[in-house]
Amino acid sequence: MLARLRTAAVIGVDAIPVSVEVDVAPGLPGLTMVGLPDATVRESRDRVRTAIRNCGFPFPPDRIIVSLAPADVRKVGAAFDLPIALGVLAASGVLPHRADDELLVVGGLSLDGTVPPMRGLLPIAVAARRSQRMLMFPHANHSEAHVVDGLRTLPVASLVDAIRHCLEPRPTVATGSNCQDSVGIDAEGDCDLADVRGQSAGRRALEIAAAGGHHLLMSGPPGAGKTMLARRLPGLLPPLAFDDALTVTTVHSVAGLLAPGAGIMRRRPFRAPHHTASDIALVGGGSVPRPGELSLAHGGVLFLDELPEFSRRVLDTLRQPLEQGVVHIARANRTATFPASVMLVAAMNPCPCGYAGTGQRPCTCPPGAVERYQQRLSGPLRDRFDLALELPAVAWDELRAHEPGESTATVRARVVAARDRQLARQGRLNSRLGGGGDDLWRHVRTPDVDQVLGRAVERFQLSARAVSRLLRVARTIADLEAADDVTVRHLAEALQFRTAGLSAP
């Protein structure tokens, strides 16, 4: 007898439909998985057999052939055990066989017949909802499935549960009720911008970066507050819209990083990988491609602390995905795609000892070390930062001052208004305005600006790229003031955030 079930695999953040066919026929007893050489599948065969027996069902003493289609997704999923086991039971007549086109089954099996939690349920749940199918899945992933409003769910903790549902399905309909993250957006708690004393230039740069979506590079001595400022950036951004939150949650689901019981992630992520991180950890990869830090930061902030300590090769692999907002990982037949639209914030000391040019303490680095240190950043990477800033040590009388600075909520209101203006005018943030293209010039240029710009190019020896960065930032500064035209004053402020001191000659 032949049984056919629907299951799914996840490649990148996309769910791919997979069909499982099981044929049970008289012959030499054994279970063959057609054309499946690799070890994970052999293990799957043993798990299926043992789980069926341990749940008190006979394992058919027949010739069993299991086939998964399409062929090239066979290796990516460990979550085929459950559909295979149900297929074996249906094909051997233990379960009444219904050609159940309405049901999608995913899940692994332990030897004792329990169904363990799995990675990447969310994209499968979304796909099941879209195709109007019921979804049978591991009970431990319950809250993830319940994000998807209207999905008919059959959570199962064991093979016995699954069999019960096959005999008499009683789906629960998800209501999307856990879409309000229990941690409120404003509950930033100990992480408010008001805690940052002084550092008016740093706070201002952070606000401009948030408003225009600009990548930001901060340089300064130890303890100046670089890390402190960076951590406060996600709070300055508008909350994630539902679709974006779903994407962010999906990436974490695929990475196996969703906290048990957590619903949708409404907070913008903040990821701060260590400088020893490999390129795979940062950008993603592996034989079964998993998202890297860049994708885990999608919709939020990727913070690279001590930027020059990262290996240059690793930083270079970041460049293209940063530009495109997406990571493609090519594998034999398919390409895994992960979202990667982030705000990049990087911090560095001016030199290895940390004090070159700060006037705070003398630099103790050997001759040439300062240049070598700064040259570890490739020019093309440096060019990604629209905003650069030298952060001085915070002065004692500012630290001592008791009146707190503006709060995150106050600044966020201005950021949100400035973002809305950009989206209404040009459909994207200023940081996405092309450098060579006309649109940057169209939205920024006035005769006034042209004149000043001409002088600035001469005086500061600005490259074409530097001019583009300057114009984007000036546009954002104008948007923060709700000004229609960029003026000389906006340009002058933008000039303060060019890569002074940090830029290659």
Ligand X SMILES: Nc1ncnc2c1ncn2[C@@H]1O[C@H](COP(=O)(O)OP(=O)(O)OP(=O)(O)O)[C@@H](O)[C@H]1O
Say what the alpha-carbon torsion angle 78, 83, 85, 88 is, to the nearest 10 degrees.
-130
Nearer to ligand X, 343 or 346 (CB): 346
- Which residue's CB is nearer to Mg ion, number 227 or number 360? 227
Measured between alpha carbons, how far is residue 17 from residues 52, 74, 77, 149 in Å?
25, 11, 12, 20
Nearest residue (CB) to Mg ion, 229 versus 264: 229
DSSP state string for 34-97: TT--SHHHHHHHHHHHHHHHHTT-PPPSSEEEEEEESGGGTTT-STTHHHHHHHHHHHTTSSPP
Tokens of 386: 């629209």
Instruction: Please select the residue that binds Zn ion; options are 22, 115, 353, 470, rule is CB under 5 A.
Output: 353
Residue 69 contacts which entry, Zn ion, Mg ion, ligand X, none (Cβ below 5-8 A, type-dependent) = none
Q: Min. distance of Cβ 504 from ligand X in angstroms?
A: 22
User: For residues 483 and 493, what is the distance between their CA atoms, to the nearest angstrom?
Assistant: 14
CB of 115 to Mg ion, least distance (A): 44
Classify strands 152-156 and 134-138 as parallel, antiparallel or unpaired: parallel
Q: How many CA atoms lie within 13 A of 227 on its CB side?
A: 11
CB of 399 to Zn ion, least distance (A): 23
Comparing CB distances to ligand X, the nearer of 35 and 404 is: 404
196 binds, among ligand X, Mg ion, Zn ion, none (CB under 5 to 8 A by kind): ligand X
The amino acid at 423: L
Cα(104)–Cα(386) distance, integer angstroms: 47
Q: Answer yes or no whether residue 356 interacts with Zn ion by CB under 5 A.
A: yes
Helix (H, G, I), strand (E, B) or coil at 158: strand
The stretch among 31-39, 244-252, 359-367, 423-431 that binds Zn ion (CB under 5 A) is 359-367
CB atoms within 10 A of CB 326: 16
Minimum Å gap between C-beta 354 and Zn ion is 6
| In the complex, minimum distance from the CB of residue 221 to Zn ion, in angstroms, rounded to a whole number | 9
Choose the contact partner of 394 out of Zn ion, ligand X, Mg ion, none; CB within 5 to 8 A by kind. Answer: ligand X
Q: Which does 356 bind (CB under 5 to 8 A by kind): Zn ion, Mg ion, ligand X, none?
A: Zn ion
The item of ligand X, Mg ion, Zn ion, none sharing an interface with residue 353, based on CB under 5 to 8 Å by kind, is: Zn ion
Contacts 24+ apart (CB under 8 A), 140-144: 140/115, 140/116, 140/260, 141/117, 143/178, 143/260, 143/261, 143/262, 143/263, 144/249, 144/253, 144/258
340 contributes a contact to Zn ion by CB under 5 A: no
Q: Which is nearer to Mg ion, 223 or 380 (CB)?
A: 223
Between residue 282 and residue 321, which ones bind Zn ion under the rule CB under 5 A? Answer: none
Quote the strand ranges of 282-424, DSSP E: 284-285, 290-291, 301-304, 326-330, 335-339, 343-348, 387-390
Burial per residue of 419-449, b for 16 or more beta-carbon CB atoms within 10 angstroms, e otherwise: bebbeeebeebbbbbeeeeeebbebbbeeeb
Instruction: Calculate the alpha carbon distances from 127 to 9, 114, 144, 316 in Å.
Output: 11, 25, 13, 35
Task: Identify which of residues 224 and 254 has a Cβ nearer to ligand X in the complex.
Answer: 224
Rounded to the nearest whole angstrom, what is the least distance from the CB of residue 352 to Mg ion in the complex? 15
Minimum separation from the CB atom of position 358 to Zn ion (A): 9
- 197 vs 298 by CB, closer to ligand X: 197
Q: Give me the amino acid identity at 212.
A: G
Q: Which is closer to Mg ion, CB of 178 or CB of 227?
A: 227
In sequence order, what are the beta bridge partners of 308? none
| Partner interacting with residue 477 (select from ligand X, Zn ion, Mg ion, none; CB below 5-8 Å by kind) | none
CB-based burial of residue 168 (10 Å sphere; 0-12 exposed, 13-18 middle, 19+ buried)?
A: exposed
Give burial (CB, 10 Å; 0-12/13-18/19+) of 30. Answer: exposed
Query: Could you tell which of Zn ion, Mg ion, ligand X, none binds residue 228, using a CB distance below 5 to 8 A set by kind?
Result: ligand X
Residue 227 vs 426, nearer CB to Mg ion = 227
Comparing CB distances to Mg ion, the nearer of 143 and 227 is 227
40 binds Mg ion, rule: CB under 5 A? no
Question: Can you state the percent helix, strand and coil of the chain, rounding each to 5?
Answer: 40, 15, 40
Task: Give the residue closest to ligand X by C-beta.
Answer: 225
Name the binder of 283 from Zn ion, Mg ion, ligand X, none, CB < 5-8 A by kind.
none
For Mg ion, the binding residue among 40, 178, 227, 496 (CB under 5 A) is 227
Residue closer to ligand X (CB basis): 81 or 305:
305
Residue type at 96? Answer: P
Q: How far is the CB of 217 from Mg ion (least distance, A)?
A: 14
Using CB under 5 A, pick the residue from 90, 365, 453, 473 that binds Zn ion.
Answer: 365
CA 7 to chain CA centroid, Å, is 26
Name the minimum Å distance from CB 52 to ligand X. 56
User: What CA–CA distance (Å, rounded) separates 41 from 462?
Assistant: 59
In whole angstroms, the minimum distance from the beta carbon of 278 to ligand X comes to 22
Residue 304 β-bridge partners:
346
Question: What are the residues binding ligand X (CB under 6 A)?
Answer: 196-199, 220, 222-228, 347, 349, 394, 399
Contacts with Zn ion: how many residues (CB under 5 A)? 5
Give the nearest distance from C-beta 191 to ligand X in angstroms. Answer: 11
Contacts with Mg ion, residue ranges (CB under 5 A): 227
Where does this chain bind Zn ion (CB under 5 A)?
351, 353, 356, 363, 365
